[in-house]
Structure 1
Amino acid sequence: MTLFLPLEDSPPVSSIPSFVIRPSEPDIQLAKVVKTILKARRIVVICAGISVKAGIPDFRSSEGLFQTLKRDNPKDALSSGKDLFDASVFNTEHKTALFCQMISRLSDLSQAAQPTPFHRLLRSLDDHRRLLRVYTQNIDAIEEKSGLSFGVPEFEGKRGKPRNSTFSEVGDPGPSTAANRTPRCIPLHGTLQQVHCQICTNSFPLNEYLPSLASGVPPECPECTSMEHTRQLVGKRARGVGKLRPSVVLYNEAHKDGEGVGDIVQKDLIGSKGRSGADLLLVVGTSLRVPGTKRMVREFSKAVHSRGSSSKESSPGGDEQAPQQQQQQSSQQQQPLKAIYLNLDFPVPTRDWEGVFDAWLQGDAQTFA
């Protein structure tokens, strides 16, 4: 069962899943949610769409990128703006140019954006050592502006030449050295901060190549260019110069740092080096349509529930003669809250989420913050 807790000014819902119950005293239960968050010690947040109030469009809403890109490019026969977030954009020069120009505009918006109240809430939880990790589907990196350490560290099992890291050692107050080597915020879909070469995979700051991207032309890789010049000087045959592409993860391609992300997820699920794994899951603003994120949420929900409750809430005794439905509702309202979903709409198909969340906070993340 999942508690239904609408926030102030939330739009009414026409129907809710059968396993979602309306508590008799929602204000008390909402206060319990807040208390649970403030008492938790290893919170994992999985989020998306928390930058809309900062001026960054989301992807799937009626005014999100998928719809506006289709509307703004009527001659390109896009079935959806999602077409420009598919790995196939590199198959034609025209789509590649549209993709580069779109990334340039998003980068400008991201650089101008400032942290929202929810970003500041994340920083506050981190300052009070309540935050274990933030896994963000956003690509704008505003979490770093709020003071969270950000990026994906080098995968420990990886061999070969180290790549350039996007990790900034800022605001990671965990007591162990292992935690200090791991950024507090992990970008699940890459970021607008970097570009990387499609041949040599070296990474470079995206803002250095904004003019080229804005014109729709993928820039040439300086590392490959330098290497080609050296090969020519020593009389070796040319290998070609790679093109730089934004380091965002597209549909139908693997995350270039996927091993590193997976390693961190595994440690946060089960704990590592004497530290326990997550004890509270907070899922915010995501429609949970991406299969990888969907799996992550289900696994973290299992993990936090397996650890039981860190504290027991006292509650008044019920009427022994109460009907069975009332007893079930009372029992649910006394259960520890370990997995919380915060969004305007419940994810679909709803049957996939029965038993995953203990509470659905129906509303906006900024309102909750």
Structure 2
Amino acid sequence: MMKAVKAMQLIRGDQDREQLLAAAQGFRAAEKRVALSGAGISVGSGIPDFRSKGGLWSVFPPEEYATLEVFLTNPAKAWELFRALGKVLLGKQPNPAHRALAQLEETGLLQGVVTQNVDNLHQQAGNRRVLEIHGDHQHLACLHCGHQEAVRKEHYRQSRVPLCCRCGFPLKPKVVLFGEAVRKIEEIDALIADCDLLLVLGTSAQVYPAAGLPGEVRRNQGRIYSFNQDPPSLEPAGSHDQGKGDYYFQGDLSATLPLFVKTVLRLNP
């Protein structure tokens, strides 16, 4: 059973200036800082949460369209979802939250990003160490011979299933479907192993393996700084006792994360 968040200190932007400054100082004092991002960080770029009302999962139920079995037995049906997803992602640009996170890495204050997103916006913003749990939607891969190629606009416009130029097998985006193994687990474990401050950005961290990362950091006596639109009511799944110095930044990430990063960078190293 999940517990109510009680020990996390709530920060609602610049109005909680004292707590904001304390959080920034705590961030500076950490030795290894990592970010975990989910759908919420990309909402400001015009990409809706797939699980939200009217999101992709309400139109294309994942158990019907997003499984490996469906792709292997009926690739045309799976590509209905792939095209819809591709059109949602097409032309989207990083928002201020993505750019703020990239600025932290550029200044040596962030050691890596673990993301559940497949939109490539962290990389576009400038982050270099990005571990994509669920793969990416910018490349197509052949499950038969291993050929890969970049996604092109015509892949979303044409009605036929794109085929591998080498062996003729149907291509699929490099996203992780239900029934496939998630990606980069060993690298993620190594990155989190000695992390003492985790930024949880735009995700409720309810789906594993991402759900286990906040708990792992807390077991190592690390801190959790969570940024989300909704008020905190539940702690991430897999968490244990709340650690001292945890913060919850409530509001639009496009505003709250840049404000926090600006505060951090104003402090003397």
Give TM-score, length-normalised by structure 2. 0.80
Residue identity matched to 1:117: P
Cα distance in 1 between the residues matched to 2:92 and 2:37: 18
5+ long unaligned stretches in structure 2: 1-5, 258-269
1:90 has 2:71 as partner: yes
Going from structure 1 to structure 2, the CA distance change for 1:361 and 1:354 (only over 3 Å counts) comes to: farther
Equivalent residue number for residue 8 of structure 2: 3
1:48 has 2:38 as partner: yes
Specify the SS of the correspondent of 2:51: coil
Matches within 5 A, 1:102-113: 102-113=81-92
1:214 is aligned, of 136, 150, 157, to 157
Specify the SS of the correspondent of 2:172: strand
Equivalent residue number for residue 181 of structure 2: 254
Cα distance in 1 between the residues matched to 2:242 and 2:148: 38
Equivalent residue number for residue 100 of structure 1: 79
Equivalent residue number for residue 341 of structure 1: 226
1:125 has 2:104 as partner: yes
1:280 has 2:197 as partner: yes
The alpha-carbon deviation at position 98 of structure 1 amounts to 4.3
Residue identity matched to 1:84: Y
Matches within 5 A, 1:1-369: 2-8=7-13, 27-49=17-39, 50-67=41-58, 69-70=59-60, 80=61, 83-90=64-71, 92-93=73-74, 96-149=75-128, 184-207=129-152, 210-224=153-167, 241-255=168-182, 258=183, 261-270=184-193, 277-303=194-220, 305=221, 338-343=223-228, 344-346=230-232, 348=234, 352-356=238-242, 358-369=246-257
The alpha-carbon deviation at position 142 of structure 1 amounts to 0.8
Going from structure 1 to structure 2, the CA distance change for 1:268 and 1:351 (only over 3 Å counts) comes to: closer
Query: RMSD of the TM alignment (CA)?
Result: 2.7
Going from structure 1 to structure 2, the CA distance change for 1:27 and 1:110 (only over 3 Å counts) comes to: same
Residue identity matched to 1:132: Q
Specify the SS of the correspondent of 2:108: coil
Going from structure 1 to structure 2, the CA distance change for 1:187 and 1:243 (only over 3 Å counts) comes to: same
Contact 2:131 2:188 survives alignment (8 Å): no
Cα distance in 1 between the residues matched to 2:130 and 2:122: 7
Residue identity matched to 1:214: R
Residue identity matched to 1:112: G
Specify the SS of the correspondent of 1:353: coil
Equivalent residue number for residue 21 of structure 1: none
Residue-by-residue CA offset, 1:233-287 (whole Å, 9 max, x unaligned): xxxxxxxx422111101123213xx3xx1221232234xxxxxx32311111112
5+ long unaligned stretches in structure 1: 10-24, 71-79, 150-183, 225-240, 271-276, 307-337
Residue-by-residue CA offset, 1:297-337 (whole Å, 9 max, x unaligned): 3213323x16xxxxxxxxxxxxxxxxxxxxxxxxxxxxxxx
Contact 2:33 2:110 survives alignment (8 Å): yes
Cα distance in 2 between the residues matched to 1:263 and 1:350: 21
Give TM-score, length-normalised by structure 1. 0.60
Equivalent residue number for residue 264 of structure 2: none
Residue identity matched to 1:279: D
Going from structure 1 to structure 2, the CA distance change for 1:107 and 1:340 (only over 3 Å counts) comes to: same
Residue identity matched to 1:262: I
Specify the SS of the correspondent of 1:2: coil
Going from structure 1 to structure 2, the CA distance change for 1:284 and 1:351 (only over 3 Å counts) comes to: closer
Q: Identical aligned pairs, as a percentage? A: 27
Contact 1:195 1:246 survives alignment (8 Å): yes
The alpha-carbon deviation at position 223 of structure 1 amounts to 2.4
Going from structure 1 to structure 2, the CA distance change for 1:188 and 1:345 (only over 3 Å counts) comes to: farther
The alpha-carbon deviation at position 39 of structure 1 amounts to 4.6
Residue identity matched to 1:221: C
Runs of 4+ with deviation above 4 angstroms: 347-352
Going from structure 1 to structure 2, the CA distance change for 1:351 and 1:58 (only over 3 Å counts) comes to: closer
Cα distance in 2 between the residues matched to 1:82 and 1:365: 30
Residue-by-residue CA offset, 1:318-365 (whole Å, 9 max, x unaligned): xxxxxxxxxxxxxxxxxxxx2122222547577853525622223232
The alpha-carbon deviation at position 212 of structure 1 amounts to 4.2
Structure whose CA Rg is larger: 1
